[in-house]
A and B are shown apart, each in its own frame.
Chain A
Amino acid sequence: LAKTTQPISMDSYEGQEVNITCSHNNIATNDYITWYQQFPSQGPRFIIQGYKTKVTNEVASLFIPADRKSSTLSLPRVSLSDTAVYYCLGGGGDKIIFGKGTRLHILP
């Protein structure tokens, strides 16, 4: 089971690019890396998932180095509405581990 480590909190300003890095040293060979976003009093929401190299969708990019022991979520040109907690998960299956996540605070 891959436990993850992320920064507890980050601050950034509107319009900037934000990168949040997660380490998952013992991720299983077949497991993907998934990032979720959570607003207060809501359930987490899927952002992006990848296995290796780079994945991009309409809201974010995910960079995964060749050794897959870490990943970086990149949010381009953040806005105030991106203030939330971001979780990375290294795997899933029949036992899913969320860490404490990264509390991202966007300033005007």
Chain B
Amino acid sequence: ETGVTQSPTHLIKTRGQQVTLRCSSQSGHNTVSWYQQALGQGPQFIFQYYREEENGRGNFPPRFSGLQFPNYSSELNVNALELDDSALYLCASSLREGPTPTLHFGNGTRLTVT
């Protein structure tokens, strides 16, 4: 059983650019969620995908968008990068069953915006 993998592990971008982060779900999981974690803060929920559709979103602007593919892998896209977007971006996969699925996290992508 392979765990959740994210790529790249580190990334440096310039303000105004666009970035795509990738996540490969744990085998057998059908739901993926993305989080932004600033230094010293807890993970902030960005959105969740189930069956290739967004089915929950946190307080993030539309320039944060995502995709889930038929194999349940996922992408997070961020347009018009701002300095405050610098953070650790975490992906978590889960199996949608019951009211409180257990989340399985990758080790994240560290994004630095200069």
Contact = CB atoms under 8 A, between A and B. Distances in A.
A interface majority secondary structure: loop
A57 interface: no
Interface in B65-90: 88, 90
Contacts of A44: 43, 90, 92, 103, 105
Q: Which 9 A-B pairs have the closest CB atoms?
A: A43-B105, A94-B56, A32-B100, A98-B42, A92-B100, A30-B99, A98-B43, A95-B56, A96-B45
B61 to A, nearest CB: 17
Given A41-B107, A44-B105, A46-B104, A101 B99 contact: no
Contacts of B32: none
A31 interface: yes
29 contacts: A30-B99, A34-B103, A41-B88, A42-B108, A43-B91, A43-B105, A43-B106, A43-B108, A44-B90, A44-B92, A44-B105, A46-B102, A46-B103, A46-B104, A49-B100, A87-B42, A91-B100, A92-B101, A92-B103, A93-B56, A93-B99, A93-B100, A95-B48, A95-B57, A96-B45, A97-B45, A98-B42, A98-B45, A99-B42
A100 interface: yes
**B contact residues, range:** 20 to 34
A87 B90 CA distance: 15
A31 B45 contact: no
B58 A92 contact: no
A80 interface: no
A51 to B, nearest CB: 9
B100 A36 contact: no
Contacts of A36: 103
Contacts of A97: 45
Contact of A43 (B44, B58, B99, B107): B107
A28 interface: yes
B33 interface: yes
Contacts of A33: 100
Interface in B4-47: 4, 33, 35, 41-45
